[in-house]
Chains A and B, each alone.
Chain A
């Protein structure tokens, strides 16, 4: 009986510990496949019961996602400014929200970051004033949120977010 309980405890803890990486890995692969690769934005359709893909997504927001991959070097990520709430958030491979910035943080301007590993950050000679974010994992997900609760607001946000950057080639 004790052995059974011990095995159950070990399995229980293993499942709990593995769940975040497994779920993130699945999410990364799905986004990457639909976007056509890593370091490419996937601009999601307006969230409806028919288009929802992620648990508890908000129908009031226009979402864009990019799987960042630092294996070839730092990745530049930007979010163009919006006249309502908007934010850029970064998630590591364990689901931790390692960075977030919104329009209030930038005084209404765009969000602009250079994502790098600790080693890559040491080698950066110049960042032209762009904020450097240190990533604890080589891959993860960048997410844009633009407040767009109506069809017309979504159409405007959709046009705007096309200028967002998620690119390893423009550090």
Chain B
């Protein structure tokens, strides 16, 4: 019985991933929240992203690593460079596991309406435990398992037909620990 419960928990906790597509450092599961979801997707959604929207309304991308393939760390700083995203509205939020990290910085996300957008739609955010004088700072302070969630609300059709075409943000590590 313990084997059954343990193996189910590995799936529900995300330690064993059941269905997703990879795009750069990001992964997405288009069936999350939808009527087409299978039993594993439905169970994982309930535990990890309860009340997620169907893909026609929102598509969620998650990054736990930077573009070099190294796990995101709360004591490191990163630059996140994005372009014009194929959605009516988008946001980028930092989580610690499945929850917001325990800090009171009030800088846990940037979104299409708050970030400095260049005329071509490109933007850049700074990820780290302190602002270091950077604009569009997203705080990682207090995050032991930092991960980023990119939400694309009312995505264009191309996102649904082939999510690998989405120009996902690039995540570049700048410095860590005392070298920051």
Q: Which residues of A contact B (CB under 8 A)?
A: 4-5, 7-17, 19-20, 22-24, 27, 47-50, 52, 54-60, 84-85, 87, 89, 91, 94-98, 100, 102, 104, 141, 143, 147, 149-150
Instruction: Identify the interface centre among A5, A17, A59, A150: most chain B CB within 10 Å of its CB.
Output: A59
A102–B46 touching, CB < 8 Å: no
B114–A149 touching, CB < 8 Å: yes
Closest 4 CB pairs of A and B: A11-B4, A15-B8, A8-B3, A8-B4
Q: Which of B11, B114, B151 contacts A58 (CB under 8 A)?
A: B151
Knowing that A7-B4, A20-B46, A58-B109 are A-B contacts, what are 13 other residue pairs whose CB atoms are under 8 Å apart, sorted by A's residue number?
Answer: A11-B1, A12-B7, A15-B4, A16-B39, A19-B12, A47-B100, A49-B101, A55-B99, A59-B109, A87-B57, A97-B34, A141-B51, A147-B89
Which residues from A are CB-within-8-Å of B56? Answer: 100
Give the distance in Å from the alpha carbon of A39 to the alpha carbon of B46 in the complex: 22
Dominant SS at the A interface? Answer: mixed
1/0 contact trace for B108-124 toward A, CB 8 Å? 11010110000000000
Give the distance in Å from the alpha carbon of A57 to the alpha carbon of B48 in the complex: 11
Which residues from A are CB-within-8-Å of B98? Answer: 55-56
A-contacting residues, B80-126, CB 8 Å: 88-89, 91, 93, 95, 98-104, 106, 108-109, 111, 113-114
Give the distance in Å from the alpha carbon of A154 to the alpha carbon of B171 in the complex: 30
Q: Which residues of B contact A (CB under 8 A)?
A: 1, 3-5, 7-9, 11-12, 33-35, 37, 39-40, 42-43, 45-54, 56-57, 88-89, 91, 93, 95, 98-104, 106, 108-109, 111, 113-114, 142, 149, 151, 153-154
Q: Which of A9, A48, A97, A104 contacts B88 (CB under 8 A)?
A: A104
A-B contacts, 8 listed (Cβ < 8 Å):
A11-B8, A12-B8, A17-B43, A50-B104, A56-B95, A57-B100, A60-B111, A102-B153
Q: How far is the CB of B109 from chain A (nearest CB, A)?
A: 5
Which residues from B are CB-within-8-Å of A8? Answer: 1, 3-4, 7
Give the distance in Å from the alpha carbon of A11 to the alpha carbon of B6 in the complex: 10
A49–B4 touching, CB < 8 Å: no
A85–B89 touching, CB < 8 Å: yes
Give the distance in Å from the alpha carbon of A98 to the alpha carbon of B46 in the complex: 15
A149–B113 touching, CB < 8 Å: yes
A49–B102 touching, CB < 8 Å: yes
Q: How far is the CB of A76 from chain B (nearest CB, A)?
A: 21
Give the distance in Å from the alpha carbon of A49 to the alpha carbon of B104 in the complex: 7
Given A56-B49, A60-B91, A60-B111, A96:B37 Cβ within 8 A: yes
Give the distance in Å from the alpha carbon of A49 to the alpha carbon of B102 in the complex: 5
Q: How far is the CB of A66 from chain B (nearest CB, A)?
A: 12
Given A16-B8, A56-B49, A89-B57, A96:B34 Cβ within 8 A: yes
Given A47-B100, A85-B89, A149:B111 Cβ within 8 A: yes
Give the distance in Å from the alpha carbon of A52 to the alpha carbon of B98 in the complex: 11
Given A49-B100, A49-B103, A95-B33, A54:B51 Cβ within 8 A: yes
B46–A24 touching, CB < 8 Å: yes
Q: How far is the CB of A89 from chain B (nearest CB, A)?
A: 6
